[in-house]
Amino acid sequence: MATKYIFITGGVTSSLGKGIICASLGRLLIARGLRVTIQKLDPYINVDPGTMNPYEHGEVYVTEDGAETDLDLGHYERFLGIRTSQQNNVTTGRVYYDVITKERQGAYLGKTVQVIPHITDEIKTHVLGLGESENFDVVIVEIGGTVGDIESLPYIEAMRQLRYDVGRKNTLSIHLTLVPYLAAAGELKTKPTQHSVKTLSESGLSPDILVCRSEYQLDSTIRRKIAQFCNVEIEDVIASLDADSIYEVPLLMQAEGLDSRVIEKLNLPAKNADLAKWKEFISKVKNPLHEVTIALVGKYVEHHDAYKSIVEALIHGGAMNDSRINIKWIQSDFLTKKNVAATLQNVSGILVAPGFGDRGINGKLAAVTYARENDIPFFGICLGMQCAVIEFAKNCAGLEEANSTEFDEKTPYPVIDYMPDQRNITDKGGTMRLGKYECKLTLDTRSREAYQTELIEERHRHRFELNNELRERLAESGLIIAGINPERDLVEIIEIESHPWFVGVQFHPELKSTVNEPHPLFVSFIGAALQKSGITDETVSRENQPA
Ligand code: GLN
């Protein structure tokens, strides 16, 4: 069967949740036995979001092959249970970079290099390349931005051309739009949708299906009106109402018939959807037996998207423990030795987040001390692990002036230091230790117990590392080296034995947690937090080991 391509555009406004709609459709098609992947086309000129501030862009999601990508790829992996790669995220910056590189190599044989055909051809090559890479049944292509934006135009044009290149019957255009409710008029308004579809159609990509975000149900009159003005059948007007949890969206889309319409229009060989595991997960999220409060300590906490995967992994780990997670967002800039007890006294677990630069470090160190001294389950991720090492060195190993060379180049005890191959790098983009690496777990550690296996693979994004020259000194004082990268002998996990649950990881476990396979460390961390909060009955361990 030829690979089918579904183009998903967005209209009226940003933040309609296009990524979640793409991921939900992907989940439904996979549940029907199809081989599906999703690609995000981003219209900005950065080559990737790796150089962007989390306030600008939210979390940078890292794939196994070490690509720094848009956070929507996290949704794709969590919903679909697939692994994405560099091929799943294409930006305008990358497209131009590749075209200009080819131009310098003389690849265009004296031609004038133009947006059409050279930029559009390059975009099409990326889309078709992904489809052909693994012979997918369906590639869902999410076009970032909003229809009508100048920077989206080359993408829309490339999709228009693709409809002819691969045949209309092998492509589908879905447009996500907004049907707002005007309280003063007391009604839902279809005009923004009409305008948005008109703009899209002017670019030659009229929609086959409309997904309409709305706060209220669309009645048949509204649906008929939208269908008539926008040139689609009434069954192709899909309502997407606000959901309590993003994980409910696939079920809402199924109830509206989105997957059935797609399957019919693309003539896909699909079986009945198997969503049993998904539904079980949702029922655990919606009807938890317990509640537990976790402090998330970081410097970008006003912007929750900066910690997207961590939040989702906590939800997954919570569901496995039949628990709802209340996140207490703690701005590390304001946390001090003085106020730490008052701020953290009612939490059952403390997670210190990843990050870069020295802002908020003292607050993070105060949180580590509080967790360590008060036996509160502690989970340090990347910079959070590095803070745990610094704190341990200062307060348990007698190295009072210990620090990371990221914050103090002259520290006498650089317990966290540049990895040797990072020291002389000057370019910022794509040059960290990125992507998947192996880690061998030490017997009789919390980590080994959680993973239930010896060799694991996790994803990385960092330049600094526990300094092997000071490793012995720390170990002598009781720091457990719980995981090592066998290839380069780098410390990947630290623990403290005398503590109920104190784990710091140099990698980013949150990136691998999915609905169907919650991450073992998050499951174990929440289990420990529940015990701390006094919930010790069997429900904590019932059926809750990851598959
Ligand atoms: N800034 C630290 C480093 O580069 C930690 C990075 C992170 O938390 N992702 O090593």
Residue 352 has pLDDT above 70, yes or no: yes
**185, 211 in Cβ contact below 8 A?**
no
Best mutation site among 53, 307, 462, 491 for ligand 1 pocket (most ligand atoms within 8 Å of CB): 462
Q: Does 463 contact ligand 1 (Cβ within 6 A)? A: yes
Tokens of 192: 């923004």
Average the pLDDT over 244-265 and give the result. 96
What's the gap in Å between 462 CA and the centre of ligand 1? 4
Residues whose CB falls within 8 Å of the CB of residue 178, separated by 6 or more in sequence, listed in order: 11, 12, 13, 16, 192, 193, 212, 213, 214
Average the pLDDT over 82-105 and give the result. 97
* pLDDT tier at 537, thresholds 50, 70, 90: low
Q: Which residue shows structure tokens 């869902």?
A: 140
What's the gap in Å between 507 CA and the centre of ligand 1? 9
Residues whose CB falls within 8 Å of the CB of residue 111, separated by 6 or more in sequence, listed in order: 118
Q: Does 364 contact ligand 1 (Cβ within 6 A)? A: no
Tokens of 135: 């012979």
What's the gap in Å between 382 CA and the centre of ligand 1? 6
Q: What's the whole-number average pLDDT of the chain? A: 94
Q: Does 356 contact ligand 1 (Cβ within 6 A)? A: yes
How far is it, in rounded angstroms, from Cα 212 to Cα 174? Answer: 11
Task: Name the residue with the closest Cα to ligand 1, atom 3.
Answer: 462
Average the pLDDT over 15-26 and give the result. 94
* pLDDT tier at 464, thresholds 50, 70, 90: very high
How far is it, in rounded angstroms, from Cα 381 to Cα 509? Answer: 8
Percent of the chain residues past pLDDT 70, beyond the cut: 98
Q: Does 355 contact ligand 1 (Cβ within 6 A)? A: yes
What's the gap in Å between 508 CA and the centre of ligand 1? 10
Q: Does 484 contact ligand 1 (Cβ within 6 A)? A: no
* pLDDT tier at 256, thresholds 50, 70, 90: very high
Q: Does 461 contact ligand 1 (Cβ within 6 A)? A: yes
Q: Determine whether 246 is exposed, middle or buried from the number of CB atoms within 10 Å of its CB (0-12, 13-18, 19+).
A: middle
How far is it, in rounded angstroms, from Cα 385 to Cα 505? Answer: 5
How far is it, in rounded angstroms, from Cα 303 to Cα 315? Answer: 18
**Residue 288 preceded by cis peptide, ω within 30:** no
- Nearest atom of ligand 1 to the alpha carbon of 357: 1
Task: Write the single-letter amino acid at 34.
Answer: L
**90, 39 in Cβ contact below 8 A?**
yes
Number of Cβ within 10 Å of residue 8's Cβ equals 24
| H-state helical runs in 321-436 | 340-344, 361-373, 383-396
Residue 546 has pLDDT above 80, yes or no: no
In 3D, which of 389, 247, 241 has the Cα closest to residue 311? 247
Identify the DSSP state of 247: G
* pLDDT tier at 392, thresholds 50, 70, 90: very high
- Give the pLDDT score at 539: 46
Q: Does 417 contact ligand 1 (Cβ within 6 A)? A: no
Q: What are phi and psi of 272, to 5 degrees?
A: -65, 145
Beta strand ranges found along 30-158 (DSSP E): 36-42, 61-62, 68-69, 89-91, 138-143
Residues whose CB falls within 8 Å of the CB of residue 451, separated by 6 or more in sequence, listed in order: 441, 520, 521
The residues annotated with a catalytic role in the active site are 382, 508, 510
- Which residues sit opposite 141 in a β-bridge? 7, 39
Q: Does 372 contact ligand 1 (Cβ within 6 A)? A: no
**448, 421 in Cβ contact below 8 A?**
no
pLDDT digit string, tens, across residues 410-453: 999 999 999 878 888 888 888 899 999 999 999 999 999 999 99
DSSP 3-state of 239: strand
Best mutation site among 383, 467, 508, 510 for ligand 1 pocket (most ligand atoms within 8 Å of CB): 383
How far is it, in rounded angstroms, from Cα 435 to Cα 544? Answer: 28
**375, 531 in Cβ contact below 8 A?**
no
Q: Determine whether 219 is exposed, middle or buried from the number of CB atoms within 10 Å of its CB (0-12, 13-18, 19+).
A: exposed
- Nearest atom of ligand 1 to the alpha carbon of 508: 9
Q: Does 462 contact ligand 1 (Cβ within 6 A)? A: yes
DSSP 3-state of 176: strand
- Nearest atom of ligand 1 to the alpha carbon of 416: 10
Q: Which residue shows structure tokens 């429900």?
A: 539
- Nearest atom of ligand 1 to the alpha carbon of 464: 10
Task: Name the residue with the closest Cα to ligand 1, atom 8.
Answer: 354
- Give the pLDDT score at 141: 98
| H-state helical runs in 187-339 | 191-202, 220-230, 249-255, 258-266, 276-286, 308-320
**249, 20 in Cβ contact below 8 A?**
yes
What's the gap in Å between 407 CA and the centre of ligand 1? 11
Q: Does 382 contact ligand 1 (Cβ within 6 A)? A: yes
Q: Read off the pTM.
A: 0.94
Task: Name the residue with the closest Cα to ligand 1, atom 1.
Answer: 356
How far is it, in rounded angstroms, from Cα 466 to Cα 256? Answer: 52
